[in-house]
Amino acid sequence: MIALGYDLGSFGADGDFGKATDDAMRKFQSEHKLTVDGQYGAKTKKKLTNKYNKKVNQSQSETGLNEEGKWKGVVTADSLNVRTWAGTENPTCSFSPLKRGTEVDVCDTKKDKDGKDWYYIKYNNKHGFVSSSYVTKK
């Protein structure tokens, strides 16, 4: 919700569905002509996910990221989260996590807010970001 511009209060996304989250959810539901009940039901989830994915895909296309693999990589972690953007603060992708030994196409590199490298990868025709610390060249 934060990525879509909704205010979740001073605590942000803290794992607690408190008053600020309820207010933001109701505002989202109202703006998108959904039943306004503050619940994260199937219709709200679908609309929120679609809006978020549209924003992420638009953001990625505007950044000029290379969409095709430059080199083959192999996951070295037991379980590697794939994120929607560079940095652990970003949500995981639908095809996350990847297991040790999984082969990926490394398409590009981006730095996170702390200056650490993240690889923009392609796996089964889907894209996402993984920490460069956990992928080696094949």
- Please give the domain boundaries of the chain with CATH numbers for all domains: 2-63 (no CATH), 71-137 (2.30.30.40)
Q: Which residue has better confidence, 105 or 64?
A: 105
Contacts 24+ apart (CB under 8 A), 115-123: 118/83, 118/86, 118/87, 119/73, 120/65, 120/66, 120/86, 121/73, 121/82, 122/67, 122/68, 122/69, 123/82, 123/95, 123/98
The answer, yes or no, to whether residue 137 has pLDDT greater than 80, is yes
Over residues 46-69, mean pLDDT: 75
Q: 91 preceded by cis ω (within 30°)?
A: no
Query: CA separation (Å) from 133 to 45, 75, 116, 127?
Result: 33, 9, 9, 18
* pLDDT of the residue at 133: 97
Banded pLDDT at 52 (limits 50, 70, 90): confident
pLDDT digits (tens, 9 = 90+) for 58-94: 655 556 788 888 999 999 999 999 999 999 998 888 8
| Residue 54, pLDDT above cutoff 80 | no
